[in-house]
Structure 1
């Protein structure tokens, strides 16, 4: 059977189901002993002689380059920017992931952070702790224009959550023509509007349309990011693009660090060019940068996937990918 190293952190924090799946199939498993995200050199040090890696968002380029035994990478999650796919193909290392399990938790956190940023919830909490009480005003999602950058699994789920808040508009920016999906969402919006009318409420109907990036930036009251990190999206939200946003706008990133240039974000918020931001992901984690100085920035710990149920599903699916691969069985989540 295979030797499996688990580099992702945390792993089996609330349930041992994934570990039991691996061990009951005869695999020898070792788990990241550091209690934090591993550095590339540490992944090489610990996992060099293993047959399979259950990985988080660690950069795996050095491991794939140096390992002579690695046959499978099974990602706990959906992003693949940390996996050198071309090199894996060259060295015949198979890659699997868990793209669906993460979507519910990330989409819910994204909506929560939109509400937090627009209503200044965390800001009010910090004020009370420092002895202040200004009762800050904010904006509602209802009646606002919300931009979704990236309309894949998570972006669509965010849109479904937002419809119940009755925004004026949902703007979608995506490289793929999303006409069919948007038509379906418009049908849901119409049904919500009709239901409200039967209750004697004329709260308006949400319109949904696809726009280019410039329109999304200039028009949205809040923008939530749901694109992968690629060469094209690296530093996509730089000073120039961030400066196009409305002064009252909120930016939310639960996708990947590096899509938003953190130094440029610091500048635009410091200069009051946008209202606030919420960042769950960072170019280097744990984050220790200047955004910590700003009261109108919400910082969370790459915890978009960290609901008990979704994390357990992700770990279980990653383990099933390993078992299926080495037993010659099904492992449908192959990249």
Structure 2
């Protein structure tokens, strides 16, 4: 059955057509974005939800979204999506951070010009017929120092445009390397240095605990007299009360703000101050940007629903289409390993240790980790998936650790999963053969070669004659057919294990009959999703 997507906000016809061209059923109902009750009534029918800013994806909506796999936000901001609730429900949240980069950067440059030349006030004065030619003395951008806080995607474009305007650019960004700064032809500085030297300051960072109020009253006081400040990033990065005070005192010569701590901004300390240009969050408001993000979100959602590729996800490791193709068997193996060890473990799990050896160690390990954790958590919560599993594990206080190493054995690559409880450690390893089929290759340190089947039986016993015959005859007596059978032992006369791949699920009466023989230390039927 083809995936089904709901578009509950206004997206372009071209974006709608992308879904249809990819074979995805799509309902375009933009009226639902502002009607949460109507949205709740229908959301359970859909695999994907494409939105802009009107639709609020709340916990109550997610409770009703029983089939939902992905929410795609056409734009960068996802404040209207409860990402924690989405993760718990196993729903991927995607955005489109690159579709509006140029338009937001251009808006910052436009505000710089507007503030430098007092354009809005001059325009209003001229419209009023005043012709106050001497009242609006501006400054040139050429030769001025621009301080860029955040030199990522949008900040990087601003740096490039500012250099074209013959400005000297200094940048503060903890993640900006010396090499990258050299390539960008900007001077990398710390925040205090930027505040001290900049004639203009523009912000291009997300709002996090680390960046909130980055231009605090204390930091604003460190700026040079006559500085002009631009914010097209996020409200809350600047102490607006403190900035208003400094504008009134004349220390700050002007400001251009497109974003505010509270939006919609009906009242604000910056409003009605001289040489303060304010716009209503227009950074992404160009026809080109709106079209770009709409097309981008449609492509990303279609890729995920059809191929498993994950792009620009906020609560899941990104997986390219090529990675999804190559890693598919390894992701399935990782899930089987986690599921096997979870079915064998009855006491609470304290820690999960994952070892990647050889070729698999060079793959997308965060995605593989999610699959292992999902396999383990499925025994506890059957509805869990790769998105929700890490959240559930974290809530239960389970520690996750990962090790990767060069090829160390006969296999080109393998994964080994170990779980730690109060009582014991238990481990299992597996690999993917050239036929693309996952195999269990080691259990409890004992080497085996077992194909993964939907219904399996795991037994342990002392390595003595007659065990295999008794197991086979008893299963035959109960009309249980073996599709495959694998043995292994630690040493002659020591502990031995057997894994049987069965055609059907094992009846509890057969398990009891095996236990009653007294020959087996452990008898455990196992179930795997190999579809």
Give the TM-score of the pair, scaled to structure 1.
Answer: 0.80
SS at structure 2 position matched to 1:21:
helix
In 1, distance between residues paired with 2:173 and 2:233? 14
In 2, distance between residues paired with 1:257 and 1:30? 30
1:315 Cα deviation (Å)? 0.7
More strand by share: 2
The residue that corresponds to 2:216 in the other structure is 238
The alignment status of 1:314 with 2:312, answered yes or no, reads: no
Cα distance change of structure 1 residues 66 and 330 upon mapping to structure 2, 3 Å threshold:
closer
Aligned residues: CA RMSD: 2.6
Equivalent residue pairs, number: 301
Q: Whose radius of gyration is greater, 1 or 2? A: 2
1: CA distance, partners of 2:158 / 2:237: 19
Residues 117 and 250, structure 1, Cα contact 8 Å, conserved in 2:
yes
User: What is residue 49 of structure 2 aligned with on the other side?
Assistant: 53
Q: Which residue in the other structure is 1:260 paired with? A: 238
**Residue 205 of structure 1: aligned partner:** none
Contact 2:207-2:234 within 8 A present in 1 as well:
yes
C-alpha spacing 1:90/1:286, structure 2 compared with 1 (3 Å): same
Do the aligned partners of 1:320 and 1:331 also contact (CA within 8 Å) in 2? no
Asked if 1:125 corresponds to 2:103, the answer is: no
Is contact 1:145–1:222 with CA below 8 Å preserved after alignment? Answer: yes
In 1, the alpha carbon distance for the partners of 2:191 and 2:207 equals 16
Alignment of structure 1 residues 181-330 onto 2, 5 Å? 181-186=180-185, 208-290=186-268, 291-328=270-307, 330=309
SS for the counterpart of 1:100 is coil
CA distance in 2, matches of 1:271, 1:122: 21
1:62 is aligned to 58
Counterpart for residue 147 of structure 1: 147
2-structure distance, mates of 1:151, 1:59: 31
Deviation of residue 153 (structure 1)? 0.5
Q: Which runs of 5+ in 1 are unaligned?
A: 187-207
Question: What's the CA shift for 1:84?
Answer: 4.2
- Length-normalised TM-score, structure 2: 0.52
SS state at 1:176 partner:
coil
Q: Which moved more, 1:58-67 or 1:208-217?
A: 58-67
Q: Which 10-residue stretch deviates more, 257-266 or 211-220?
A: 257-266
> How much does 1:23 deviate?
5.1
**CA apart distance, 1:145:** 0.5
1:24-57 Cα deviation digits (max 9, x unpaired): 53122321468xxx6xxx6x44543524333345
Equivalent position of 2:29 in the other structure: 30
- Name the structure 1 match of 2:99: 101
Whole-angstrom distance in 1 between the partners of 2:51 and 2:220 = 32
Q: What SS class does the counterpart of residue 292 from structure 1 fall into?
A: coil
Task: Indicate conservation of the 8 Å contact 1:47/1:63, yes or no.
Answer: no
Q: 1:87 to 1:66 in 2, by over 3 A?
A: closer
Q: Which has the higher contact order (CA 8 A, sep 6+)?
A: 1
Q: How far apart, in 1, do the equivalents of 2:282 and 2:32 lie?
A: 20
C-alpha separation between the residues in 1 aligned to 2:53 and 2:230?
A: 19
Aligned mates of 1:30, 1:243 — CA distance in 2: 50
Question: Secondary structure of 1:107's match?
Answer: helix
SS of residue paired to 2:192: helix
CA distance in 2, matches of 1:307, 1:215: 34
